[in-house]
Amino acid sequence: MKKILIAIILIGIMSCNAVKRVLKDKDKTEIVGREWEKTHGCVTDSFVSFISDTLIVFDTTYKVKLDTINSLQVIESVDTVFVNKTIRIKDTTKVVITDLRRLNIALDSVGHYKGLTAYFKVQFEEQTAQTKVQRHRGNMWKLYFWLLLIIPIVLFIVYKILKSKFTMPI
């Protein structure tokens, strides 16, 4: 009985394998693949470019005197020699590694967000148009309200004026 229970538990655990669930669902596989890509770049799909630049160049000329010593006597023969020396100071060589797979993923994301931007732009324009229509409709209701309020008052005043003109005093 104990062995059967252990076997059922093991079968249950093995059937709920997370890797199998991820590999069956393409959306989950894509998410896991992008997260894995952040830490594991592909070397065969990359290129390396070396960048080096000369920052400063010094070109100098030195004047050197030569002295010779023979025995204990000091004989000074002054020969002037010109030495040209060029000093170049270069910046450090940079190595740029670009992973094309990661670049393609970034371009995919850019395309996705451009599509979303276009979608939201269309929605915003539709909302703006609806707002203009609703505002116009509201303004028309205000006009109707004031006309319904003013017309009976004007008619009442006209009625009173006409009644006073056509009625004869007794």
- What single-letter DSSP state applies at residue 72? T
Q: Write down the pLDDT at residue 122.
A: 94
The H or E element spanning position 121 is helix 100-166
91: helix, strand or coil: coil
Look up the pTM and report it. 0.34
67: helix, strand or coil: strand
CB 80 within 8 A of CB 93: no
44: its two tokens: 């065969």
Domain limits, the chain = 1-40, 41-166
pLDDT tens-digit series, residues 115-135: 999 999 999 999 999 999 999
Q: How many Å apart are CA 99 and CA 37, to the nearest integer? A: 10
pLDDT tens-digit series, residues 60-112: 666 655 555 554 444 455 555 666 666 666 666 666 666 667 777 778 888 88
C-alpha to C-alpha distances, 36 to 13, 72, 96, 147, 162, nearest whole angstrom: 25, 80, 21, 70, 92
- Strand-pairing partners, residue 56, are 89
12: its two tokens: 């249950």
CB 80 within 8 A of CB 102: no
Residue 14 has pLDDT above 70, yes or no: no
pLDDT tens-digit series, residues 25-50: 888 888 887 787 777 766 555 566 66
